[in-house]
Amino acid sequence: MNKLKDTDIQAAIGWVLRTGVFLSVGVVMFGAAIYIYRHGYDATDYRTFKGVPDFVKLSGVVNGMLTLHGRAIIQGGIILLIATPVIRVAFSAIGFVLEKDYLYAFITLLVLIIIFASMLTGHAG
């Protein structure tokens, strides 16, 4: 009984990871097509750190995506990719609750809290 439920969680987590990965790669590739079509022969310069342009920042990325900026769309895909492991952890928490494995539901929740704490305070490895 326990075993069966565990494989269910495994299947669900595998699905979350695959969907997240394919979705983000799809979005990245779409943005890449626009970016390379427009800027493919531009010269690159990453020698000095200038940060990223405003339309690629977290705050401006949605606007940049709507105006079909290639780089903003790529960044949107990257954000999806970053969200995937976090969504995976959230899904396992739900899975453990459904399995009535409250010890692991608690452990998973604790991990989620630590992740969000380090994101919000800016102290991350």
| Least distance between other proteins and beta carbon 15 (Å) | 9
Give the CA count within 13 Å in the CB-facing half-sphere of 79: 14
| Least distance between other proteins and beta carbon 91 (Å) | 11
Q: Which of residues 15-74 bind other proteins (CB under 8 A)?
A: 17-18, 20-21, 24-25, 28-29, 31-32, 35-36, 39-44, 46-49, 51-52, 56-58, 71-72, 74
Total count of residues recorded for the chain: 125
How is residue 44 annotated by DSSP? P
Q: Is 97 in the site for other proteins (CB under 8 A)?
A: no
**What is the rounded CA–CA span in Å between residue 109 and residue 111?**
5
